Amino acid sequence: MAAATIVARPLPILPDGWSAEKDFKPLGSITASTQRTIEPVGPHFLAHARRARHKRTFSEDDRIQAQETAKRIENDDESDVSEPEDPMMFQREAKDWKSQDHYQVLGLSKYRWRATEDQIKRAHRKKVLKHHPDKKAAQGNTEDDNFFKCIQKATEVLLDPVRRRQFDSVDEKADATPPSKKEAAKGNYYKLWGRVFKSEARFSKQQPVPSFGDENSTKEEVEGFYNFWYNFDSWRSFEYLDEDVPDDNENRDQKRHMERKNTNARKKKKAEDNARLRKLLDDCSAGDERIKRFRQAANAAKNKKRLEKEEAERKAKEDARLKKEAEEQAAREAEEKAKADREANKKAKEAAKNAVKKNKRVLRGSVKDANYFAAAGADASPAQIDAVLNDVELVQGKIEPEEVAALAGKLTGLKVADEIKGVWSDEVKRLIAAGKLQDGDAKTLV
């Protein structure tokens, strides 16, 4: 307690000539006294009365009251935050807190993810009063405080919204076991499967989640339910199962390696969870009588159209067969005609090809008959022969087969070199005028 400091402050000196008779001015008058009866009430008076009755000091009374409060809380039969304790929990090592069931440690197994913050706090308070190391020591129990540390860690995780969400993401004990085919056949199919999907709905990002319904659900409700779950968007991330990443800055490579390993492990668990949920839906839809009933109704509606269609098909079957035969006959005739035309075209092409070859031989033969335009009485040199034949090939490449035939007709029967050269010269000039040859091309033929 802080010590009080006394400061001496003298009263001001009255002015000279001041007197109470002439200078005092009262501001009001004192009222008459009134006698009232005071009734003692309130917690402080009750505490005073309790201490006086039992002749206790303040410290004794506070200690006894604390003991009675603890005993009252411990013995308070609140079924919503109380359940029998498993003796195996007391053997758990505090360092293995990550693998413990936090809800079981606090006695909230039947509530799990539905437990409220108030229930968690009250459960923690009861467990602490029962398992606090000081209380056990006072009772002569010298066991370690591992379970008390487990209680503290469970409360720490469950009162942290982020860490509790992480734990709930991997809390398999909150999952409802899907019914087998035999169980579904014996029991209420929709109630059993509805319990499963109600448990899975806690992971949905989208709320509210469509209910499974019952045998009276409409087709739209059933289709909406399965469409929602086959496109289920889950918030489960599985980071609670991550391996611890070292905090030291000296081993950054190992830290990155562990982070990548944890990320890959989360992705793998996420894929496995999606596959598990897909199998649940497949198994459920396979035995859903509503889907079978809707399919039967749809098939019945289709049967009428199918019968009408079959009747129309039977009626038109013969016409279709006759039409097909007629088409096949027409196709055969068309094929035979096309084959004949191909043969005729082939023969015509062969004839034209032979005619072109023959005409080209006439063209080459004409320059040979003209002695390749060598001087009279002299033999053409090999160079001159090659030059003339090259020009002949050049001209042949520039004209069409019909023009080749026309040129061969002009050269047929000519034996005089000047006449042959004149025909070639006219043809070269014609091609130059038509732009098919340039001036200076085929000089040996001009």
CATH code (residue 419): 1.10.8.840
pLDDT for the residue numbered 231: 93
The total number of structural domains in the chain stands at 3
Of 287, 313, 330, the residue that ends a domain is 287
Domain membership flag for residue 264:
yes
Amino acid letter, residue 424 = W
Of 253, 287, 321, the residue that ends a domain is 287
pLDDT for the residue numbered 117: 92
Residue-wise pLDDT tens for the chain (446 aa)?
456 778 888 888 878 877 777 777 777 778 888 888 878 888 888 888 899 988 889 888 888 888 777 666 655 544 455 677 877 777 777 788 888 888 888 889 888 888 999 999 998 988 888 888 877 666 656 566 888 888 899 899 999 999 999 998 888 888 888 888 887 777 788 888 988 889 888 889 898 999 888 888 998 999 999 999 999 999 888 888 888 776 665 677 888 888 889 889 889 999 999 999 999 999 888 888 888 988 888 888 888 888 888 888 888 888 888 888 888 888 888 888 888 888 888 887 887 788 777 777 777 777 777 777 777 767 778 877 787 778 778 777 777 888 778 877 777 777 777 777 777 778 778 877 888 778 877 777 77
pLDDT for the residue numbered 77: 46
Range of the domain at 438: 358-445
DSSP string, 224-268: HHHHHHHT--B----GGGPPPPP--TT-HHHHHHHHHHHHHHHHH
pLDDT for the residue numbered 3: 66
Phi, psi (rounded to 5 degrees) for 438: -100, 155
Same domain, 433 and 411: yes
Provide the whole-model pTM. Answer: 0.51
Domain membership flag for residue 51:
no
Same domain, 194 and 258: yes
pLDDT for the residue numbered 398: 76
* Two tokens, residue 122: 């009250």
DSSP state of 435: T
Question: In this structure, what CATH number is given to the domain that contains residue 142?
Answer: 1.10.287.110
Cα separation, 160 vs 164, whole angstroms: 6
